Amino acid sequence: MQIGIGALSRETGIKVPTIRYYEKIGLIRPGERTEGNQRRYDQADVDRLRFIRHSRDLGFDLAAIRELLSMSETPQASCHEVDSIAHEHLAEVERRIAQLQALREELSRMIAECSHGRVCDCNVINVLADHANCLHDQH
């Protein structure tokens, strides 16, 4: 099966400019060119792009995806490094979740403490104007 870049895009849900970018940075091999200079891809390219798309959907960065793809090319090797990358990513996700929970709590507090009077007395404005009024981690 040989397909063009448009069909590859439809098949994987990845936009054509992104496919070209992935080629440029070496995540996927450049499509072989026909005599008419059209890019052609095979099932292995579809599978690789689906792997990349799913990895991106799960929040892995391109460097991690590059490493995971490289490791997947030696299927008999230990998956210890793969697990390590996944654990690091999970720790980052948990850190971001904690930040978002703190953000939610701070916003809820700001809104709850608002007197709903005039802007000059608005707790939301006062907290935003002076970070010292925040109860969460101050950076």
Same domain, 14 and 72: yes
The predicted-structure confidence for 1-45, as pLDDT tens digits, reads as follows 799 999 999 999 999 999 999 999 999 998 888 888 888 999 999
For residue 7, the enclosing domain spans: 1-77
End of a domain among 61, 77, 93? Answer: 77
* pTM: predicted TM-score of the whole model, two decimal places: 0.77
Predicted confidence band at 126 (pLDDT cuts at 50, 70, 90)?
Answer: confident
**Backbone φ, ψ for residue 14 (5° rounding):** -110, 130
Same domain, 71 and 115: no
Please name every residue paired with 138 in a beta bridge, in sequence order, or none if there are none: none
End of a domain among 25, 56, 77? Answer: 77
Angle, vertex CA 49, rays to CA 46 and CA 50, nearest 5:
85
Same domain, 105 and 118: yes
Same domain, 61 and 85: no
pLDDT for 136: 63
The structural domain count of the chain equals 2
